[in-house]
Amino acid sequence: MTWRYRFTFIAIVFLFAVVIVRLFYWQVVKAQELSQLGQLQYGTAVTLFPQRGEIKTSDGFPIATDRISYLVFANPKEIKNKGEAAVLLSSALGVDKASISAQLALDKFWVPLATGVESKTKDEINNFDLPGIGFEQQYTRFYPEASMAAQLLGFVGKDEFGNDKGYFGLEGYYNRLLQGKVGTAVQIHDAFGKPILASISQQSAQIDGSSLILSINRPIQFLVERVLKENVEKYGATSGMIGIMDPKTGEILAMASYPSFDPRDYQDYSETLYKNPFITDTYEPGSTFKPLVMSAAMDANLVTPTTKCTICSGPVPVGGYLIHTWDDKYFKDTTMTEVIQHSDNTGMVFVAQKLGLDRMISYLNKFGIGDLTGIDLQGEVAPGLKPKDQWYAVDLATTGFGQGISVTPIELLDAIAAIANNGQRMEPHIVTAVEDSNGNLVKIPPKIVDSPISPETAKVMTEIMVNAVDKGEASWTKLDGYRIAGKTGTASIPVNGHYDPTKTIASFVGFAPADNPKFAMIVVLNKPTASIYGAETAAPIFFEIAKDILSYYGIPPSGQ
């Protein structure tokens, strides 16, 4: 009999073990899956999409926000007269009838018909009273100011999973902040499908995206874009850029490029227009670079405004090349003030040679030339300075007048703004504050990057630049009654190893009012055909905009 007891005992233990293993499988291994299955029987799992943050100008106006739109879908099995439905839907949605018919012909319970449909169109479709047509609310990016600051904003497209993602500009650079965090929840229903009390069990709440508050001044941005477009067409240029900065804080007040694109229909434009040329395109700055080299030499106590140029009576031979002035006019014993006033290349060769290679590189580094400025936009490039051992005598000489060296417009604007800001170079930035979904505001303070020149040198250089505006090539277009510091630039474009004399980059850089600058501005026109000179193209644009900005800020003429 003993073996029978043993057999029964082992059999019972074995059966218990099987039950325990099975329980472990359901309770531990499959626990989460079963839990979700159970939840689905009395509720629905809902994905909570966060609202993307807004991008606001300095006046709090959103230039990029979310708008409610709808996904229109159909249940083909419920639609009886598919032909009539296809005609009505295609006319309302503006979609090809054949494509709607093809979708409705599918043997499915759910087919998408169109996305991003406006509320007005949704109401129109509702009035058709078609069975089997439904709507799902969603958000799409909305730009109340249309294409304003498009290259600054970037655009919102889709990532590989079909989720919204920002590309280029601020949408790209601040994508993580703007997009927020997706949440999930379970909506519990009663037998009639109505939600019951304490119905939503939030498994993880969504976090709406933070909003960006920009330093961009909307009226100034609007003005700049309009003037730029008009003048690119007027002067027959291939493109143009304008940037305006507050030299005291580094805040960008306006930044515009033309041609641009419309972020609402970005896919209709060439990809080359997506990037912001103000931070991604490099060019040889030409004479607009002269104030930097001149102020460096003055800061190093190598020249003064009255120092006479001893090599300016004719073309200057350097390293086997003969360097001319832009108009082949030469001024013997010209002073440094006059060198900037006449935009004298030989005078700048004199200054560059006095400065020497080591000091030249050192000052250029302090002015931020060759480095990223650190602006909070996606895609900034910095061409970098050549290694010291690759500089020849002629490179030093041509750098004096801004040829043979490449910069981005933002680099040059930031460097010139340092002269306007008593020699202190600020980090340029667009975003002044970030506001989270609870309304908490985090301000981004201005940042001093370097002090390339002393306040005294900056003051003297400002006077030299004011003199250049009052008596230089662009004096015909200057604003009467205002003291404005500036410098024209007409840079040849290198093509296949030589400079094409008929194609130039015309530019003007300056700041106003000279005594207490409210803004620094750079205007760059690419290959203008009406005139190749900066004094005849970029300068009038600068002063046209400056006039309106001074009026906008309520700064009266000084009467001088």
Partner 1 sequence: MKKPALTILFLIFVILVLSVVKTFVSNRISTSGMVLGAIEDKISYYKTENALLSEKLYSMSSLTNISNQAEKLGFVEEKTNFVLTNPLPIALKQ
Residues at the contact surface with partner 1, assessed by CB under 8 A: 61-62, 65-68, 119, 137, 142, 144-146, 148, 190, 192, 194-197, 199, 218-219, 222, 479-481, 547, 556-557, 559
Cα(64)–Cα(66) distance, rounded to whole angstroms? 7
- Which CB atom, from 111 or from 555, has the smaller least distance to partner 1? 555
Cα(321)–Cα(393) distance, rounded to whole angstroms? 10
- Which CB atom, from 16 or from 61, has the smaller least distance to partner 1? 61
Q: How far is the CB of 245 from partner 1 (least distance, A)?
A: 21
- Which CB atom, from 4 or from 194, has the smaller least distance to partner 1? 194
Cα(187)–Cα(208) distance, rounded to whole angstroms? 20
Give DSSP secondary structure letters for 109-148: S-EEEEEEE-HHHHHHHHHHT-TTEEEEEEEEEE-TTTTT
- Which CB atom, from 39 or from 199, has the smaller least distance to partner 1? 199
Cis peptide upstream of residue 263 (ω within 30 degrees of 0):
no
Q: Give how far the C-alpha of residue 88 lies from the chain's centroid of Cα atoms, to the nearest Å.
A: 42
Q: How far is the CB of 119 from partner 1 (least distance, A)?
A: 6
Residue type, 439: G
- Which CB atom, from 219 or from 315, has the smaller least distance to partner 1? 219
Q: How far is the CB of 396 from partner 1 (least distance, A)?
A: 43
Q: How far is the CB of 39 from partner 1 (least distance, A)?
A: 17
Q: Which two tokens stand for residue 26?
A: 């359901």
Q: How far is the CB of 442 from partner 1 (least distance, A)?
A: 24
- Which CB atom, from 66 or from 380, has the smaller least distance to partner 1? 66
- Which CB atom, from 170 or from 224, has the smaller least distance to partner 1? 224
Q: How far is the CB of 146 from partner 1 (least distance, A)?
A: 5
Residue 14 DSSP SS3: helix
Cα(424)–Cα(1) distance, rounded to whole angstroms? 103
Q: How far is the CB of 22 from partner 1 (least distance, A)?
A: 37
Ramachandran quadrant class, 361 (left: phi over 0; alpha: psi -120 to 50; beta: rest): alpha
- Which is it for strands 448-450 and 485-495: parallel, antiparallel or unpaired? unpaired
Give the contacts of 520 (CB within 8 A, at least 6 positions apart): 244, 245, 246, 247, 413, 416, 417, 420, 509, 510, 511
Phi (first) and psi of residue 280, to 5 degrees: -115, -20
- Which CB atom, from 99 or from 187, has the smaller least distance to partner 1? 187
Residue type, 540: P
Give DSSP secondary structure letters for 527-551: S-SS-S-GGGTHHHHHHHHHHHHHH
Q: How far is the CB of 121 from partner 1 (least distance, A)?
A: 13
Q: Please state the length of the chain.
A: 560
- Which CB atom, from 402 or from 510, has the smaller least distance to partner 1? 510
Q: How far is the CB of 142 from partner 1 (least distance, A)?
A: 6
Residue 429 DSSP SS3: strand
